[in-house]
Amino acid sequence: MHSIPRQLATFAAVLAVLYTGGFIAGQFIDTGGHSGGAMEHEVHAARAGETAVAVRGLAVADQGLRLMLETPELQRGRRSELRFTVVGDDGRPMRDFDVAHEKRMHLIVVRRDATSFQHLHPELGEDGAWTAPVTLAEAGTYRVFADFTRGGKPFTLASDLRVDGDARLDPLPAPNDVASAGDGYEVRLDAGKPAAGREAELEFTVVFDGRPVKTEPYLGAGGHLVALREGDLAFLHVHPTEHGGDRTRVGFAATFPTEGRYRLFLQFKHGGQVRTAAFTLPVSR
């Protein structure tokens, strides 16, 4: 009868030893040789002096706001009206938006292979719906980004849009530092060697007939830049930088969250017309 309590006591002691040993071993494994995915990435980033970079445009909802695309499918090659709302938790359309870059709403429409790009400025109706005319010449799936600011906080909500017809995704063009903007305009990019997690200076020079030209003000700056990550089309926030009023160079500061390739769409204004030049930019680890 007395052997049972002794056996229980021995069993409890063995458990205590195993638990203590496991805990101590776990501490050594966790600090010395774990392979814990996100945690490991954070440790390596901290050692490298990097900071986590937030990306936008990967979700249809964020912080209580949701993008409702009322026209999720359009006909190829036909002028259509793209209609959407931004709703709150109660499902009611939001109407109070800040003016950012001279507009209350920036709508970016990009084909999934990043071969087609449009930057639109929709109008807000009395019913709380935004509308913008759009013509999409190629079939396929497009990413629609609603880029706006409320209460001083920037948001980029996104959803997919379909255009009827057979579609083939094209590979991203090879990296380049010179791109055509049509009608004799070229844009030259000086980006150095950008690395993930570190701020990069991107400098564009607009050239017409072989000579640099000064760009005209567009959306409150010398130009406007949209940067998208290859694959998921993560939307990067970029800041224009000033060059002392010298608009022969248009500069931006951007931090790329990961290594890989990014598609850059620069828009500038000259001769009263807005033009677009696209670049593929590789980013190292």
Q: Domain range holding 21?
A: 3-48
**What is d(CA 80, CA 190) in angstroms, rounded to the nearest whole number?**
38
Among 163, 193, 209, where does a domain finish?
Answer: 163
Query: Is the dihedral angle over the CA atoms 255, 257, 262, 264 positive or is it negative?
Result: negative
Which of 43-79 are b and which e, b meaning 16 or more Cβ less than 10 Å from the residue's Cβ?
A: eeeeeeebeebebbbeebeeeebbbbbeeeebebeee
pLDDT computed for residue 53 by the predictor:
66
Assigned domain for 172 exists: no
The CATH number for 110's domain is: 2.60.40.1930
Model's pTM, two decimal places? 0.81
Assigned domain for 230 exists: yes
The CATH number for 229's domain is: 2.60.40.10
Assigned domain for 56 exists: no
Assigned domain for 173 exists: no
**What is d(CA 142, CA 268) in angstroms, rounded to the nearest whole number?**
23
Which of 122-137 are b and which e, b meaning 16 or more Cβ less than 10 Å from the residue's Cβ?
A: bebeeeebbbbebebe
**DSSP secondary structure code for residue 70 in this structure:** S
Residue 159, helix vs strand vs coil: strand
Contact in structure between 104 and 122 (CB atoms under 8 Å)? no
Assigned domain for 169 exists: no
- The closest alpha carbon to 279, from 147, 146, 181, 144, belongs to 181
Contact in structure between 221 and 212 (CB atoms under 8 Å)? no
**Average pLDDT for runs of 10 along the chain of length 285:** 43 38 34 32 35 80 97 95 97 96 97 95 97 96 97 96 92 95 97 96 95 94 95 92 75 96 97 97 97
pLDDT computed for residue 18 by the predictor:
36
Assigned domain for 256 exists: yes
Assigned domain for 85 exists: yes
The total domain count for the chain is: 3
The Cα angle at residue 66 between residues 63 and 72, in degrees rounded to 5: 155
Q: Which amino acid is at 204?
A: F
pLDDT computed for residue 2 by the predictor:
45
**Residues 273 and 185 reside in one and the same domain:** yes
The Cα angle at residue 90 between residues 232 and 54, in degrees rounded to 5: 30
**What is d(CA 53, CA 256) in angstroms, rounded to the nearest whole number?**
7
**Residues 25 and 99 reside in one and the same domain:** no
pLDDT computed for residue 239 by the predictor:
87
Q: Which amino acid is at 201?
A: E
pLDDT computed for residue 14 by the predictor:
36
pLDDT computed for residue 248 by the predictor:
83
Q: State the burial class of residue 155 (Cβ atoms within 10 Å of its Cβ: 0-12, 13-18, 19+).
A: middle
